[in-house]
Amino acid sequence: MQIYAYRAERFYKHSFGLQMLGLVLGLLVWIAPVYAQEVLRIPYVADIGTFDPDNGFEVGGVSAINNVYEGLVEYEPGSTRIVGLLARNWEVSDDGLTYTFQLAEGVKFHDGMPFNAAAVIKSFERRRDRGLILSYFLANVKDMRAPDDSTVVLTLTHPQPSFLDALASPWGPKIISPQALAEHENGDFATTWLNEHAIGTGPFKLAEFKRGQRYVLERNDDYWGNKPFFRQIQISVVPDISQ
């Protein structure tokens, strides 16, 4: 049994500017922070297709999604080391088939609902079972259990050395408020609603979604980790950089 308890430093860990510099690959043209107003203004030359963390694959969109939603683990900034996020530690069985995660405490979703193991299972089931674009990240998971509110046990069909990398990927599974999933299910697993709305646990909330025009993230003042510097992130779609 291998036991892991890594935790990244969270001072400015969710710096949107730093994430963008590493991810946008040409979609981000320039960053203009207005420090006096604690506002970060970012122009995109390409639109955000969806804010659904299980369907969004555009690089720019994922950068925004990852400031609103969080997963169990992530890569330490600037490295390939995997560290805990919503999971504070985890164990891997000797046969490489069972992963047991102990969850962070005192975490709440943006709608005020508590984060717990049942929420993880609900989000992971949506990602794995609903035929969504990014479902393949959990295709090897055959069983998910929540023995208690702070423990999640995932059992794989066969050993997968890259499994933690799949969870840590920017495109890896994120945890969505189970209350939001239930309220907006509407026969499509809340896909329509999640295209333009978001309720996660991250340091920012999605405050405005105007497709093809403008997106605004507001700082989550109730965030369970260290608060980000910026009060607001404004993303404007500017197809013509000369504008």
Q: What is the rounded distance in angstroms from the CA atom of residue 119 to the CA atom of residue 87?
A: 13
pLDDT at 14 over 80: no
pLDDT more than 90, % of the chain: 75
Query: What separation in angstroms does the CA of 109 have from each of 66, 105, 200?
Result: 14, 12, 5
- DSSP collapsed to 3 states, 5-57: CCECCCCCCCCHHHHHHHHCCCCECCCEEEHHHCEEEEEECCCCCCCCCCCCC
The predicted model scores a pTM of 0.87
DSSP 199: -
Give the model's confidence band at 59: pLDDT under 50 very low, under 70 low, under 90 confident, else very high.
confident
pLDDT of 144 over the 50 cut: yes
Instruction: Work out the pLDDT band at 131, boundaries 50, 70, 90.
Output: confident
Query: Of the given ranges (70-79, 100-109, 232-241), which has the lowest mean pLDDT?
Result: 232-241
What span, in angstroms and rounded, lies between the C-alpha atoms of 22 and 24? 6
pLDDT for the residue numbered 159 = 98
Per-residue pLDDT band for 183 (boundaries 50, 70, 90) equals very high
Q: Each residue of 192-243: pLDDT tens digit?
A: 999 999 999 999 999 999 999 999 999 999 999 999 999 999 999 987 755 5
Q: Pick from 111, 135, 116: which is nearest to 189 by CA?
A: 135
CA–CA distance, 60 with 201 (Å, rounded to integer) = 20
Evaluate if residue 129 carries a pLDDT over 60. yes
CATH annotation of 2-237: 3.40.190.10
Task: Output DSSP code: residue 115.
Answer: P
Once rounded to an integer, what is the mean pLDDT over residues 84-103?
Answer: 98
**Listed range (33-37, 56-60, 77-81) with the worst mean pLDDT:** 33-37
Quote the mean pLDDT of the chain.
Answer: 88
Q: What angle do CA 170, 67, 55 make, to 5 degrees?
A: 50
